[in-house]
C-alpha cells in the first residue's frame, strides 16, 4: 500500500525558489529516495555546519544511515540535535541560448528532523538486511553472519520521513522569447549513473559464480518518461 | 604551475575515521573538485542545519557557486557565517564476504570557511565564463550576452580552498582472514557517471550544428588507473 500522507511543509521545509518545481507527496519523495545510495547529512557542532556524505537506505517511513560507533557524525546526529538530510540526482545539463537560462535537470529530497539510534540488536540486524536487500536482494542470506561484536561496533540511525520537500526539474531550456531566433545550439545533455561490469576480487575462490543480482543493481535511475 | 600548498588541517577538517584514506594535498583535492558539478553546501540558520545541493566550479584557489539574488542559501552563506562545502563521487560498490566489510569506493572533498560574494560586475562575468568553460569551452562566446539586469539578479559566491580534506577509497574488499575461504562472491561493482547523447531543443533553429564540445563533457570521471 503506498504511503498515504504528504511531507509536512514548514517554514524551513517549504521550497521558496521556483516553487513550481517542489513536490511534497510521498510517491515522488520515495521514488527519489529509492533511486539513490549516497546522501549528505548536515548537522551543527559548536555553531559550525558539517556535511557528511554517507550511504543510506529507505524502509517504510524512515531513512537510515550507519557507520562506526566511533563516528563523530553518528554520535552527534543521534544526540537529539536537528539534522538535515539531502539526496540529489543530477539528470542533465540544460543548455539555453543565454548563460542566464542555463540550468540542470535534477531530482532532490531534503528532510529535516531529529535522528534516533537503533538500539535493539534484532532490529539492527533487520535494518542491515534491508540495506543489503535494497541493492542486492538475496545477498544477505549468502554472507558470513554478522557477529555480536560487529553489531555493537555499528551505529545505525533513522530519520522519519516527515518534514521536508522534493524538488525536481525536467525538460528542455526555457529561453527568453526573442532568443529562440538566435543561431545557438540549445537542448539537454543527459547525465546518468551507470552500474558497470562486476570485477571479481583477486582472492575470489575458484568456481564461485557471479550472482545474478549484481546485474540488476540500479542507482540514480532517472524518472521514466 | 600546480598549487604548491596543502589544505589546512584543523580540529574540524582533520579526517578522524579511517585516516589512511585522507589526503590534504591540492593535487588530489583539485582533481576531485574538477571532476564534479554538484556540491552540497551546509550552513546554519537559527541553530538548524541546512544542506543545499547546487552546481559549483573551481577556478584557481577558490570554488564558486551561484544562483538567484533572492536565494536564502546565498544570502545566508555570504553573510560571514561558517559554511561547509562537500563534493562526493561514488565510484563503486565493494562487496565483501561479510556484511560488516562491505564498503563503497568514493572520492570526496570537504571544505570549511566563510564564503564571500563576488560584487564587481566584470569579475562576475569572468567567473560565469569560467563556469561555462569548465563544461563546454567555446560556448560562452556563442551565447547571447548576459544583460546587466541578469547579472544583478545573479549572486555568485566564492570559498577559498584552504581548510578541509579529501577522502578517497579505492580497491577491492578487505575481508577478515578466515572469510577468504568462504564460498561467497566478492569484488567491486563500478559506478560511473555517463554524459549521454545531446538532445536538441524542440525549438532549435534548423541548420544549427551540434557543437563539438558537447561530446567532450566530463563529469564525475573516476581516477585513472
The pLDDT tens digits of the residues spanning B166-191 come to 999 999 999 999 999 999 999 999 99
CA–CA gap between residue A173 and residue A97 (Å, rounded): 8
Question: Residue B146 and residue A100: Cβ atoms within 8 Å?
Answer: yes
CA nearest to B214 within chain A: A189
Contacts of B163 (CB under 8 A, 6+ apart): B7, B8, B10, B12, B13, B111, B112, B113
- pLDDT value at residue B225: 39
Q: Do A150 and B98 touch (CB under 8 A)?
A: yes
Among the partner residues A49, A183, A193, nearest to B42 by beta-carbon distance: A49
Measuring CA to CA, which residue among B3, B4, B125 is closest to residue B66? B125
Please tell me the distance in Å from A122's CA to the nearest CA on chain B.
15
* pLDDT band at residue A18 using 50, 70 and 90 as cut-offs: confident
- B73 with B43: CB under 8 angstroms? yes
Contacts of residue B44 in chain A, CB cutoff 8 Å? 44, 47-49
CB contact under 8 A, A208 and B143: no
- CB B180 to CB A205 under 8 A? yes
Burial class (CB in 10 A: 0-12, 13-18, 19+), A43: buried
pLDDT at site A66: 97
Average pLDDT over residues A179-204: 97
Give the one of B44, B183, B197 whose C-beta lies nearest to A205's C-beta: B183
Picking from B53, B181, B183, the nearest residue to A86 by CB comes out as B53
Does the pLDDT value for residue A170 go beyond 80? yes
Distance from CA of B2 to the nearest CA of A (A): 28
Q: Which residue shows C-alpha cell 544570502?
A: B75
Alpha-carbon distance B95 to B190, whole Å? 11
Query: For residue B187, what are the β-bridge partners?
Result: A200, B95
Judge whether B128 and B156 are in contact, CB under 8 Å. Answer: yes
Q: Which residue has the cell 561555462?
A: B132
Q: What is the 3-state secondary structure (H, E, C) of chain A?
A: CCCCCECECCCCCCCCCCHHHEECEHHHHHHHHHHCCEEEEEEEECCEEEEEEEEEEEECCEEEEEEECCCHHHHHHCCCCEEEEEEEEEEEEEECCECCCCEEEEEEEEEEEECEECCCHHHHHHHHHHHHHHHCCCHHHHCECCCHHHHHCEEEEEEECCEEEEEEECCCCCCCHHHHHCCCCCEEEEEEEEECCCEECCCCCCCCCCCHHHHHCCCCCCCCC
pLDDT, tens only, B201-218: 999 999 999 999 999 999
Q: Which CATH superfamily is domain B19-216 in?
A: Electron Transport, Fmn-binding Protein; Chain A (2.30.110.10)
pLDDT < 70 regions, chain B: 1-4, 222-225
Looking at domain A19-197+204-216, which of 3.30.70.1070, 2.30.110.10, 3.30.420.40, 1.10.3210.10 is its CATH number?
A: 2.30.110.10
Q: Per mean pLDDT, which range of A5-19, A20-34, B80-94 is the poorest?
A: A5-19
pLDDT, one tens digit per residue, over B45-56 is 999 999 999 999
Please tell me the number of Cα atoms within 13 Å of A198 on its side-chain side: 21
pLDDT interval class at A2 (50, 70, 90) = low
CA atoms of B192 and B19, how far apart (whole Å): 25
The residue with greater pLDDT, A137 or A4, is A137
Model confidence at A166: pLDDT above 60: yes
CA distance A162 to chain B (A): 16
**Given this model, what pLDDT does residue A4 score?**
55
Residues of chain A with Cβ-Cβ distance to B108 below 8 Å are: 53
| Cβ contact, residue pair B186, A203, below 8 Å | yes
Q: Are A200 and A209 in contact (CB under 8 A)?
A: no
- Tens of pLDDT, residues A32-70: 999 999 999 999 999 999 999 999 999 999 999 999 999
Q: How far apart are CA B46 and CA B23, in angstroms?
A: 33
pLDDT score for B175? 98
A-to-B residue pairs, Cβ atoms closer than 8 angstroms: 267
List the beta bridge partners of residue B161: none
**Which chain B residues are closer than 8 Å to A17 by Cβ?**
67-68, 70-72
Query: Which pLDDT score, from 0 to 100, does residue A3 have?
Result: 54
Amino acid at each position: 500500500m503506498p504511503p498515504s500522507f504528504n511531507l509536512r511543509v514548514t517554514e524551513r521545509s517549504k521550497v521558496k525558489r521556483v516553487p513550481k518545481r517542489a513536490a511534497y507527496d510521498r510517491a515522488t519523495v520515495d521514488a527519489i529516495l529509492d533511486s539513490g545510495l549516497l546522501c549528505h547529512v548536515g548537522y551543527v557542532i559548536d555553531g559550525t555546519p558539517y556535511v557528511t556524505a554517507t550511504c543510506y537506505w529507505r524502509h517504510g517511513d524512515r531513512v537510515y544511515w550507519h557507520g562506526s560507533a566511533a563516528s563523530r557524525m553518528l554520535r552527534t546526529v543521534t544526540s537529539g540535535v536537528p539534522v538535515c538530510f539531502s539526496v540529489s540526482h543530477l539528470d542533465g545539463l540544460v543548455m539555453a541560448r543565454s548563460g542566464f537560462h542555463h540550468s540542470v535537470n535534477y531530482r532532490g529530497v531534503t528532510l529535516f528532523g531529529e535522528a534516533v539510534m537503533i538500539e535493539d540488536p534484532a532490529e539492527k540486524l533487520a535494518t542491515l538486511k534491508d540495506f543489503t536487500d535494497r541493492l542486492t536482494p538475496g545477498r544477505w542470506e549468502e554472507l558470513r553472519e554478522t557477529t555480536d561484536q560487529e553489531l555493537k561496533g555499528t551505529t545505525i540511525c533513522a530519520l522519519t520521513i516527515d518534514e521536508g520537500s522534493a524538488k525536481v526539474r525536467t525538460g528542455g531550456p526555457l529561453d527568453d522569447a526573442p532568443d529562440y531566433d538566435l543561431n545557438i545550439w540549445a537542448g539537454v545533455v543527459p547525465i546518468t549513473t551507470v552500474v558497470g561490469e562486476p570485477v571479481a576480487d583477486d582472492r575470489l575462490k575458484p568456481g564461485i559464480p557471479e550472482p545474478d543480482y549484481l546485474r540488476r543493481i540500479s542507482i540514480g535511475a532517472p524518472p521514466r518518461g
